[in-house]
Amino acid sequence: MIFYLTALFAGLLVVSNILAVKVFTVLGFDLPAAVIVYMATFLITDVIGEVYGKKMAARAIRAGFIAQLIVLFFIYIAVEVPPAPFFEMQTEYEMILGGSFQVIIASLVSYLVSQNLDVLIFHKLKERHGRRHLWLRNNFSAVITQFADTSIFIVIAFIGTVPPNILISMIFMQYIAKIIIVLLDTPIVYLLVGIARKQLDKERAMLMEVTEKVN
């Protein structure tokens, strides 16, 4: 199960970077199309940390970061290779996949800070409560880390290009939207944790059977 969760985590990170180009409006909130996909990555690291421990969650974060760097490298190559004479969408291709260096740096920095902060807060609460109050550490860690993630990304990505009052408005709107998503995904966290624990218990039981037979 841990392998599937880590693969899903890395895959969603890569997809979120591509989807982020589009901005949509819902109920007065202007949000990047990647917001739901990206928020799911925090859900997954919470599940990994809850079931498999802090070290495994940290490994997933490192794997996701490396995956992003590799994908960005290959996207850069794909954008820079000369287009065929009949390919007439090079400008659109660059616009969608290329992104700006400033936005890419903002994405990577906010990712590293917020994901590691999330794991830190989540496990501080778990050390205090054990298996109890999963909803508390899932939501409380998100309240802190999503503010950090949103603030870091928007400030680095748009500083110098939009007025300060617009920056504050963007941070506030995206932060509120992310917190709403976090509150809604709490049942999914419980569901995935339950599935992962059952799978882990089966794996441990099988390992004990094998060990007993060998002995």
Residue appearing with tokens 């996909």: 37
Contact 43, 188 (CB under 8 A): yes
Structure-token pair, residue 42: 């925090």
The residue ranking higher by pLDDT, 23 or 139, is 139
Please check the confidence at residue 214 and state whether its pLDDT lies above 90: no
Nearest-angstrom CA–CA distance, 205 and 192: 20
47-51, 106-110, 199-203: the lowest-pLDDT one: 199-203
Please check the confidence at residue 59 and state whether its pLDDT lies above 90: yes
Domain spans, the chain: 2-214
Nearest-angstrom CA–CA distance, 48 and 63: 13
Please check the confidence at residue 55 and state whether its pLDDT lies above 70: yes
Helices 54-80, 35-52: axis angle to 10 degrees equals 150
Q: Summarize the confidence of residues 27-46 as an average pLDDT.
A: 87
Distances (CA, A) of 151 to 18, 77, 94, 113, 190: 20, 30, 27, 11, 28
Question: How many CA atoms does the CB half-sphere of 213 hold within 13 Å?
Answer: 6
Nearest-angstrom CA–CA distance, 85 and 64: 36
Split at pLDDT 50, 70, 90, the class of 119 is: very high
- pLDDT score recorded for residue 100: 65
Q: First-to-last CA distance in the chain?
A: 27
173-191 pLDDT, tens digit per residue, is 889 989 998 989 999 999 9
Split at pLDDT 50, 70, 90, the class of 52 is: very high
The residue ranking higher by pLDDT, 114 or 169, is 114
Task: Residue 160: count other Cβ atoms within 10 Å of its Cβ.
Answer: 5
Buried b (16+ CB within 10 A) or exposed e, 180-204: ebbeebbeebeebbeebbeeeeeee
pTM for the structure as a whole: 0.87
Q: Summarize the confidence of residues 1-14 as an average pLDDT.
A: 90
Q: Across all residues in the chain, what is the average pLDDT?
A: 88
Closest CA to 54 of 138, 108, 126, 1: 126
Structure-token pair, residue 21: 């180009």
Nearest-angstrom CA–CA distance, 109 and 207: 40
